[in-house]
Amino acid sequence: MYLCHIENKIMIKSQKVRFVIETLEKLYPNPPIPLDHKDAYTLLIAVLLSAQSTDKRVNTITPKLFKKANNPYDMVKLSVNEIREIIKPVGLSPMKSKGIYGLSKILIDKHDGKVPANFTDLEALPAVGHKTASVVMSQAFGIPSFPVDTHIHRLMYRWTLSTGKNVKQTEKDAKRLFPKKLWNKLHLQIIFYARAYSPARGWDIENDIIFKKIGRKSEAK
């Protein structure tokens, strides 16, 4: 571990970034999108549902919801309570059901039933924050974005690539350090790596390939 820390001091940030990119590309050359969806609208709903839940749980609920309504026009035919009953297992159902109904109505009234491909309009929708908007921009529209979730926030700090003070700063650091053309793929690669090698709980540092090379000294104690 001591030698690892000596190496950390020698490596400059650009070398660390290159090591991260190369390692993730070897491990996850074609990372899939974790949330099941068929278009921008169903992805938007799935991402909204994933807040404080897991992708696995969301993927068990969305087929039931989308069977009844997989577009905003059908969604507003359901009541908020009907939506809430379906999505209860993912948690925060009162807030999420109101958000789903409300954003669906706005999409119909202001956007011809289509999900807008810009941050301003997306973030103006009920229950849609910057991270959700970033996922939709990246995964639905292919527009370079770097959604930062708890996994990315944690790893950017562990890798000494960000101060880790807040997700806004982490996103800024990630966008500054990594090539824009890699953002959409890289944020997925980091998520998959975090779950497999660098989780918040049950973390085995010896199996964490990237951390052992560039990790934060205080985290290893």
Same domain for 101 and 84: yes
For 29, phi and psi rounded to 5 degrees?
A: -65, -30
Q: What CATH number is attached to the domain comprising 175? A: 1.10.1670.10
- Note down the domain range covering 71: 40-140
User: Which stretch of DSSP H or E encloses residue 177?
Assistant: helix 167-177
149 is known as an active-site residue:
yes
Query: Is residue 215 situated within a structural domain?
Result: yes
Joined tokens for residue 124: 């103006």
Q: Are residues 163 and 126 located together in one domain of the fold?
A: no
Domain edge (last residue) among 76, 109, 140: 140
DSSP 8-state class, residue 33:
P
**Residues 12, 148, 37, CA angle at the centre, nearest 5°?**
135
Residue in 131, 173, 175, 221 annotated catalytic: 131
Stated pTM of the model: 0.90
Q: What is the pLDDT along the chain (221 residues), one digit of tens a residue?
A: 434 444 445 578 999 999 999 999 999 999 999 999 999 999 999 999 999 999 999 999 999 999 999 999 999 999 999 999 999 999 999 999 999 999 999 999 999 999 999 999 999 999 999 999 999 999 999 999 999 999 999 999 999 999 978 999 999 999 999 999 999 999 999 999 999 999 999 999 999 999 999 997 666 65
**Structural domain includes residue 35:** no
List the Cα angle 160/164/170 in 5-degree steps: 95
Which one from 96, 98, 109, 149 is the annotated catalytic residue? 149
The Cα 17–Cα 22 span in angstroms is: 9
